[in-house]
Amino acid sequence: METWWKDAVIYQIYPRSFKDTTGNGIGDLKGIISKIDYIADLGVDAIWLSPIFTSPMKDMGYDVSNHRDIDPIFGNLKIFDQLIKKSHKNNIKVIIDQVLSHTSDKHPFFILSRSNKTNPKKDWYVWADAKSDGSPPNNWLSIFGGSAWEWDTSRKQYYLHNFLKSQPDLNFHNKMVQKWVQSTIKFWLEKGVDGFRLDTANYFFHDKKLRNNPALSNKKINSNPYYQQELKHSINQRENLIFMKALRKVTNKYKDIVMIGEIADPKVQAEYTSDNNKLHMAYSFELLRENFSKTLIQNTVLDFFKNSKNGWPCWSFSNHDVPRHVSRWSNSKIHEHNFAKLTCAILLSLKGTPCLYQGEELGQTQTEIEYDEIKDPPGKKFWPIDFGRDGCRTPMVWNKKEKNAGFSNYTPWLPIKKLQLKNAVEDQKNNKNSVLNFYKNFISFRKRHSAFKEKLNFIKHKDLLIFSRGNKVKIVCIFNLNKYQVEVDNRFGYLAKDFPYSNIKINKEKIIIKRYGFGFFKSSEIF
């Protein structure tokens, strides 16, 4: 069975913010098609599209009202077919987001389910009676704030929603729901997609007894109380693993398909990727955190492969849900581009599949969003402690000389601001020292050397992140994540002609690595 995804570089596209061709200020499928040459030139192997399905857009497409059609703001199924065709012609595989744990409250299934307690879809969602005092069935909370239960006056019952109240959870204990989900996966496989990113892959099943979640023993005060509970009964149920096996059997009937599960907990990732019969990859959250250190990176990678001996991780530093990593970690506008190159070199050198988020290849920074510009529900709910996710979702900056930076002829759905304009594609294309060209060159470098498909061994050092890749002939990767210069003995081999380095000085005895410097050395020495 093919494992192309192990060697791939994935590029995440947030369609609303990529390229608008219809003039409504929202990106669309034709916009993605128009930029396939750009994506191919970058050198990535696959694109992952955030949700493009029919939706009221209460949560920007993660509230799906028709899982088998394209929302008109993005296009239609015919245009989607064109996107698949052009991507494949350019040797780019297409992975689509699948939001299966819940639907929109505008979905026909939910409209019927809430109508009464005797309809054909009566138990397709999670319904429960109120307690004797009228309160919700248990203490489960919504990620987006408040109780995970919403009272419905039609059925005179509560329904479960782990996210917005307009996103009711499907009842996966119902076998008909499971069959419908499998048929939906098959529908898109027949359309020619190459894989799925499964949103909240460990949220499908809930505890049938609806037992209360216990409090975390080591809880920290958080702006969102959701994270003060141990989610013992609301998610991560054993039945979920059984269902993943069923989905894997569906995908195994098609050629070269990949399933990537969005799972935050490293231990759960190990379970879901073990034994080659569930997920192909787990999309890790550990490197999307606030802190950035050699210890975090080393421990995250080691822990994954220790706990999941035959599993495979998908690493990201940025995505549509967290502040862009150049802003999140750098804290230095002077060194932003050097830092962007450093993080590119680290991400693409790790054992696992790297996933880049659109604009990351430009060294793009977080956009500051004012309260009256917020579109994201959590941003409105938790402002000003949490500004929401809009700051990482602002439109791609193609050409700062064009109207709205070449993204749209109409006012964009989120603002394009001055700090983001300086990272425009057109300004970087012909600059050999740009972040964009560094990404292109590094992706090419990664593909040229088989060592990046082989072993990874960390090498202990007090100040530097150092590891080797490869079996017999090794590539030694050295990174200075510090804000100060570090010197090491020159014992790691030599810089071959096409090996990248930055902010490094080398002599016979010493390697001097300046702030955010890095280098790749060819060596046959066994570490």
For the annotated catalytic residues, the residue numbers are 199, 262
Residues 106/111/113/116 CA torsion (nearest 10 deg): 150
If we measure between CA atoms, which residue out of 296, 281, 411, 419 comes closest to residue 363?
419
The CA distance from 122 to 114, in Å, is: 7
Amino acid at site 464: L
Dihedral sign for Cα 511, 513, 514, 519, please: positive
Residue 127 CA to its chain's centroid (Å): 31
DSSP, residue by residue, 164-223? -TTSPBB-TTSHHHHHHHHHHHHHHHHTT--EEEETTTT-S---TT-PPPPBPTT----S
CA angle, corner 317, sides to 311 and 318, nearest 5? 120
Amino acid identity of residue 138, one-letter, is N
Single-letter amino acid code for the residue at 236:
N
Chain mean position to CA 433: 28
206: left (phi over 0), alpha (psi -120 to 50) or beta: beta
Report the SS3 class of residue 360.
Answer: helix
| 3 state SS of 66 | strand
Amino acid letter, 44: V
Q: Which helix (H) or strand (E) holds 12?
A: strand 10-13
Q: What angle do CA 343, 199, 313 make, to 5 degrees?
A: 45
Phi then psi for 375, rounded to 5 degrees? -115, -20
- The token duo for 168 is 């009711």
Going by C-alpha positions, the residue among 378, 411, 408 that lies closest to residue 392 is 378
Residue 336 burial (CB count, 10 A): 21
Q: What does the alpha-carbon distance between residue 522 and residue 493 come to, in Å, rounded to a whole number?
A: 5
